[in-house]
């Protein structure tokens, strides 16, 4: 046997060895500190090693670590009570899973249950995950190539294009949309567009599925990003931040959708395990006690302002600022791949979105100094990347 085992190379490695994290920072094995605007693709939004979350998980681990939610447990009761404080009122039942993609799969299964409706609608720029159902409604052809055929029909419509919504007809089981597209390039859904979409779904009887995996749990300045538009989706999926970094996701549904569920149709060994439930319970506590959405709104505006300065200083290479709250970035006139490497060298972890966007997904607890630091690093990195290209 060969002693050196590797990880499948689906993503290019970042070339540093991260050994610990606290709040908005992580440290590498040389004890270099990085301001973490990568955040595990946004999952560490409540900060690394958040003491409230860690302590609650530790307590739960010692009390009861394995138990499926078919059994009542105190942690399940507490978690549901906590969630009922932050979920939209019309969403009456939830199911817990382990990842965003898994939750998208379940949302699609629930929509597909409407007999004679075999089609899903998604939007240009959409990203909903890498499992087969979620992949089928993801826009980027590079991710999909070679994996067709998908389990059902899908049609993509242009994001934010009101006129095309007429194409949603009574053969459509569900329409899935991100209120702010993450991976696709930090494109914000127009509130009027979301309302028109909701109307059209009601008219033809298609379920409206809102994907809040990246935009949800306070990141955009509201607990859920779609609340700005005042819409009421039939199904909402959430993940990433809801467990403070612990792997957990959920599907929340209206009474009507819940009423159609039949025994045996879905299940998951680890979905809703006690540690995940404890993490969600603690994360909701943090969200409320720390006024996370309000802080995201304030710091999001600060960051936006700083990015605008960067953008006007580097007009020839930057198109502008995109996103909402603490889900923001710079739209460059070239690929951000080299910029990511340079920000990292300068102590700031970032990621990309779409073909040209430098994406920032900071934890909610960033301060003024962090905003200034990130602005300076980004200015230097974008200029240097442009010079060397």
Ligand X SMILES: Cc1ncc(COP(=O)(O)O)c(C=O)c1O
Stretch that binds ligand X, among 100-108, 164-172, 325-333, 371-379 (CB under 6 A): 100-108
Stretch that binds ligand X, among 97-105, 187-195, 221-229, 339-347 (CB under 6 A): 97-105
Contact between 128 and ligand X (CB under 6 A)? Answer: yes
Contact between 297 and ligand X (CB under 6 A)? Answer: no
Site string for ligand X, 236-255 (x = CB under 6 A): ---x----------------
Q: What are phi and psi of 83, to 5 degrees?
A: -65, -35
Contact between 277 and ligand X (CB under 6 A)? Answer: no
Beta carbon nearer to ligand X, 100 or 300: 100
Place of tokens 């009390």: 63
Stretch that binds ligand X, among 99-107, 189-197, 305-313, 324-332 (CB under 6 A): 99-107
CB of 138 to ligand X, least distance (A): 8
Site string for ligand X, 159-198 (x = CB under 6 A): -------------------x---xx---------------
Instruction: Count the residues of the shown chain that bind ligand X, applying the rule CB under 6 A.
Output: 15
SS3 61: helix
Contact between 127 and ligand X (CB under 6 A)? Answer: yes
- Binder of ligand X out of 53, 104, 231, 292 (CB under 6 A): 104
What residues line the site for ligand X (CB under 6 A)? 41, 99-101, 104, 127-129, 178, 182-183, 211, 213-214, 239
């Amino acid at each position: 046997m060969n002693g050196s085992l590797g990880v499948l190379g689906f993503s290019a490695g970042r070339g540093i060895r991260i050994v610990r994290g606290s709040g908005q920072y992580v440290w590498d094995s040389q004890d270099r500190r990085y301001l973490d605007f990568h955040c595990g693709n946004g999952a560490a939004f409540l900060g690394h090693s958040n003491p409230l979350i860690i302590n609650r998980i530790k307590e739960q681990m010692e009390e009861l670590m394995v138990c499926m939610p078919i059994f009542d447990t105190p942690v399940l009761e507490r978690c549901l009570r906590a969630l009922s404080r932050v979920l939209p009122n019309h969403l009456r039942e939830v199911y817990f899973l382990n990842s965003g993609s898994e939750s998208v799969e379940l949302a699609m299964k629930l929509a597909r249950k409407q007999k004679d409706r075999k089609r899903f609608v998604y939007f240009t720029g959409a990203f909903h995950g890498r499992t087969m159902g979620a992949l089928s409604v993801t826009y980027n052809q590079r991710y999909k190539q070679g994996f067709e055929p998908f389990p059902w029909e899908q049609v993509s419509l242009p994001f934010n294009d009101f006129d095309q919504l007429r194409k949603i007809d009574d053969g459509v089981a569900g329409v899935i949309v991100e209120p702010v597209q993450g991976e696709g390039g930090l494109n914000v859904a127009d509130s009027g567009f979301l309302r028109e979409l909701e109307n059209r779904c009601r008219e033809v009887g298609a379920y409206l599925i809102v994907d809040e995996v990246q935009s949800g749990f306070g990141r955009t300045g509201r607990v859920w990003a779609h609340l700005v538009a005042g819409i009421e989706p039939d199904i909402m999926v959430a993940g990433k931040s809801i467990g403070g970094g612990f792997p957990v996701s959920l599907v929340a549904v209206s009474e009507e959708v819940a009423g159609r569920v039949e025994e045996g149709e879905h299940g998951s060994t680890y979905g809703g395990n006690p540690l995940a439930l404890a993490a969600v319970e603690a994360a909701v506590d943090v969200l409320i006690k720390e006024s996370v959405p309000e802080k995201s709104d304030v710091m999001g505006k600060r960051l936006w302002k700083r990015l605008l300065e960067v953008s006007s200083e580097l007009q020839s290479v930057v198109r502008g600022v995109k996103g909402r709250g603490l889900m923001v970035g710079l739209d460059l006139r070239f690929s951000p791949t080299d910029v990511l490497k340079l920000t990292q060298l300068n102590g700031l972890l970032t990621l990309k979105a779409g073909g040209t966007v430098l994406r920032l997904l900071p934890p909610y607890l960033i301060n003024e100094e962090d905003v200034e630091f990130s602005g300076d690093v980004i200015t230097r990195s974008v200029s240097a990347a442009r010079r060397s290209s």
